[in-house]
């Protein structure tokens, strides 16, 4: 069991849950911050959704403790039913009432939960739902339905927002459209969020705290960037392995190219269309995938690559298929590069060697 359960529970979220269904068992002990976004990440079937449903009270056979600050939702003495747990739940499918208008969907359960007209107007405005209010839910696109589902959860004044893979049913364009709204909720809602996903991109964009789950057990839990950037965890062995850096926008040109200040040095990245218009000083995260980092022994100026960072090799790890993952120190910041074994031999790559990390601007993910 995790030693996190010794943390003072008065200011955080305590979860100790056990649940068995057939051959699968969930056994989780966590202490999460009572603010920001805690993301539960792992492969399909690892228990992410079961954990969220147990927290929400939707798995009646789950036993243990769920405590949000000083309010107990469940312990060895009592168990609040799902409708008494003030958690706003949003699932993969929006589950709106299809015959009702968007406005009536938002009002459903809103007054019973003590929501105010001001709160309703606030989330209609922030999630840009005004043009949709008169439409029936059945006529909305998948992305529009999820925005309505998010607003419906928020106007019920939840103490905790629980999101179970809310973008997984959407295509790439719709996911990119919804992510800025989720960032706005993170910034403005003033309540903790538990977010279940198997998307590294969503983790990189949203997570403050990251929980890795595998086969119903917690394999790592901590500050999101610390966990994301640990080279000893399974994330580092995935095909999309990489690191995530905190950054600040310096300048953005008319083509969407952003100059970023990062701990590794000055970088250039192309923002998706939905994120064009960052002001100088805007905090961002930039994800650099190992497969997008190439290495050179000299700094080349006759290249289309805009990002050239001085770096030192700290370790080399062989991977299947004749690849090698290389850990780099760039100004004290960890970077990962993935190259062929032949390239390692040809360039005589070894720990302590100083070289240049080259990264395409169009490959960076912000």
pLDDT in tens, 25-55: 999 999 999 999 999 999 889 999 999 999 9
Residue 356 is assigned to a structural domain of this protein:
yes
Q: Is residue 312 part of a domain?
A: yes
pLDDT of residue 135: 96
Residue 292 lies inside a defined structural domain of this protein:
yes
Checking if the pLDDT of 317 tops 50, the result is yes
Quickly tell me which residue has 């690892």 as its tokens. Answer: 46
Instruction: Give the model confidence (pLDDT) of 238-286 as tens digits.
Output: 778 889 999 999 988 888 889 999 999 999 998 765 455 577 888 888 9
**Residue 154: alpha-carbon gap to chain centroid:** 19
Q: Which two tokens stand for residue 161?
A: 């927002």
Q: What is the band of 231 on the pLDDT scale with cuts at 50, 70, 90?
A: confident
pLDDT at 236: 64
Joined tokens for residue 80: 């609040």
- Report the CATH number that the domain containing residue 348 is assigned in CATH: 2.40.50.100
Residue 301 covered by a domain: yes
CA distance 281 to 94: 35
Instruction: Provide DSSP, 271-300.
Output: PPGGG--PPTT-EEEEEEEGGGEEEESS--
Q: Is the dihedral of CA 23, 29, 35, 38 positive or negative?
A: negative
Q: What is the pLDDT of residue 9?
A: 41
Spatial distance between the Cα atoms of 275 and 317, rounded to a whole number of angstroms:
36
Bridge partners (DSSP) of residue 13 are 32, 68
Question: Is 139 among the domain residues?
Answer: no
Question: pTM for the complete prediction?
Answer: 0.85
pLDDT average, residue stretch 210-239: 88
Residue 274 confidence (pLDDT) = 47
Structurally, how many domains does the chain consist of? 1
Burial class (CB in 10 A: 0-12, 13-18, 19+), 348: exposed
Higher per-residue pLDDT: 363 or 356: 356
Is the pLDDT reported for residue 143 higher than 90? Answer: yes
Measured distance CA(152)–CA(119) in Å, rounded:
11
Helix (H, G, I), strand (E, B) or coil at 145: helix
**Band of the pLDDT at 334, cuts 50, 70, 90?**
very high
Give domain status of residue 295, yes or no. yes
Q: Are 72 and 159 in contact (CB under 8 A)?
A: no
Q: Could you tell me which residues come within 8 angstroms of residue 139 by beta carbon, excluding any fewer than 6 positions away?
A: none
pLDDT at 7 over 70: no
Range of the domain at 272: 242-363
Mean pLDDT of 310-334: 93
* Paired tokens of 197: 């996903």
- Give the pLDDT band of residue 2 (cuts 50, 70, 90): very low
Give the pLDDT confidence score for residue 1 in this predicted structure: 33
Give the DSSP letter string of 23-74.
TEEEEEEEEEESSSEEEEE--TTSSHHHHHHHHHT--TT-EEEEEETTEEEE
Question: What tokens appear for 357 in the block?
Answer: 């990390």
Return the pLDDT at 301: 84
What would the mean pLDDT of 61-65 be, rounded to a whole number?
A: 96
The per-residue pLDDT of the chain, averaged, comes to 90
End-to-end CA distance of the chain: 35
pLDDT tens for residues 119-130? 999 999 999 999
Cβ-proximal residues to 342 (8 Å cutoff; 6+ apart), any chain = 322
Spatial contact of 84 and 158, defined as CB atoms under 8 Å apart: no
**pLDDT of 108:** 85
Average of pLDDT values for 7-17?
A: 75
pLDDT value of position 281: 86
Nearest to 213 by CA among 31, 30, 40, 9: 40
Check residues 332 and 230 and name the one with the higher pLDDT.
332
Mean pLDDT over 227-239 rounds to 79
- Residues 363 and 337: their CA atoms lie apart, in Å, by 13
pLDDT confidence bin for 363, thresholds 50/70/90 = confident
Residue 338 has which token pair?
A: 């993935």
Whole-number pLDDT of residue 339: 95
Please, which residues bridge with residue 316 across strands? 326
In this structure, is residue 300 part of a structural domain? Answer: yes
pLDDT for residue 230 is more than 90:
no
Share of the chain above pLDDT 90, in %: 72
pLDDT at 220 exceeding the cut of 70: yes
pLDDT value for 5: 34
Task: Tell whether 317 is covered by a domain.
Answer: yes
Predicted local distance difference test score (pLDDT) of residue 115: 78
């Amino acid at each position: 069991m995790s030693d996190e359960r010794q943390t003072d529970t008065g200011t955080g979220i305590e979860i100790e849950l056990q649940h068995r269904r057939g051959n699968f068992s969930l056994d989780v002990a966590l202490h999460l911050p009572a603010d920001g976004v805690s993301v539960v990440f792992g492969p399909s079937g690892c228990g992410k959704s079961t954990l969220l449903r147990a927290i929400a009270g939707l798995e009646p056979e789950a036993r243990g403790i769920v405590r949000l600050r000083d309010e107990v939702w469940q312990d060895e003495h009592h168990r609040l039913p799902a409708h008494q747990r003030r958690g706003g739940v949003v699932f993969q499918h929006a589950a709106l009432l299809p015959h009702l208008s968007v406005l009536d969907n938002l009002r459903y359960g809103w007054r019973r939960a003590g929501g105010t007209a001001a709160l309703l107007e606030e989330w209609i405005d922030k999630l840009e739902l005004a043009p949709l209010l008169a439409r029936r839910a059945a006529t909305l696109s998948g992305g529009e339905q999820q925005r309505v589902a998010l607003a419906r959860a928020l106007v019920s004044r939840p103490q905790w927002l629980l999101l179970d893979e809310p973008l997984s049913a959407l295509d790439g364009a719709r996911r990119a459209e919804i992510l800025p709204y989720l960032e706005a909720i993170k910034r403005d809602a003033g309540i903790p969020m538990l977010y279940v996903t198997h998307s590294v991109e969503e983790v990189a964009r949203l997570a403050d705290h990251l929980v890795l789950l595998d086969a119903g057990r917690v394999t790592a839990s901590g500050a999101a960037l610390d966990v994301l950037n640990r080279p000893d965890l399974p994330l580092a062995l995935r095909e999309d392995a990489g690191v995530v850096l905190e950054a600040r926008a310096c300048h953005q040109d008319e083509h969407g190219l952003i100059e970023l200040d990062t701990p590794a040095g000055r970088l250039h990245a192309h923002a998706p269309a939905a994120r064009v218009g960052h002001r100088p000083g805007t905090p961002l995260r930039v994800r650099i995938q190992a497969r997008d980092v190439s290495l050179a022994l000299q700094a080349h100026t006759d290249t289309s690559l805009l990002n050239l960072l001085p770096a030192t090799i700290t370790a080399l790890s062989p991977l299947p298929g004749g690849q090698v993952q290389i850990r780099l120190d760039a100004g004290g910041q960890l970077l990962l590069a993935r190259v062929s074994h032949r390239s390692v031999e040809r360039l005589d790559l070894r720990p302590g060697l100083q070289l240049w990390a080259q990264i395409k601007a169009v490959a960076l993910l912000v």
